Amino acid sequence: MDDRTPEVAASGFTDHVLVCTTDRDEHACCGDAGAEAVLTAVKQWLRERDVFWSNVHVAETSCLGLCSETGTGVVLQPRGRWYAGVTPEEVPDLLAEEFGPEVDRLGAGVAVE
């Protein structure tokens, strides 16, 4: 095992956006509720502010346990913020609320030693 925490912190990385893209047949799932469009909207918002893959990493995930027919599950870490039913249209307001309109509130909850 290689603990790369100091290296990652030194690179400026502070936040992680997890977007569920699970696709199932039997139950409501993010994959059927616009997950790809939500993922694209997250990346676009971060790119427009020049923080995508620098300060903020985005990961496509399997089930986060936030299943909904109306939208996608999105988790912001290390903030511990969990959102269900997120639509692409809601992404800009969600990220602006969490990170600040000009991403001036990155790193909330980060504890690196």
The full DSSP string for 1-49 is ----HHHHHHTT--EEEEEE----SSS--GGGTTHHHHHHHHHHHHHHT
Instruction: Please tell me the total count of domains within the chain.
Output: 1
The top-scoring range by mean pLDDT among 36-45, 59-68, 104-113 is 36-45
Residue 3 domain flag: no
What does the block give as tokens for 85? 């039913």
Q: Is residue 25 part of a domain?
A: yes
Domain interval for residue 30: 20-68
Domain-embedded: residue 40: yes
Averaged confidence pLDDT in the chain: 87
The β-bridge partners of 83 are 74
Does the residue 80 lie in any domain?
no
75 token code pair: 């988790």
Given a cut of 50, is residue 105 above it in pLDDT?
A: yes
Q: What was the pLDDT predicted at 70?
A: 86
Among 21-25, 26-30, 40-44, the minimum mean pLDDT is found in 26-30
Q: What is the dihedral of CA 85, 87, 92, 95, to 10 degrees?
A: 30
Q: Answer yes or no: is pLDDT of 20 > 80.
A: yes
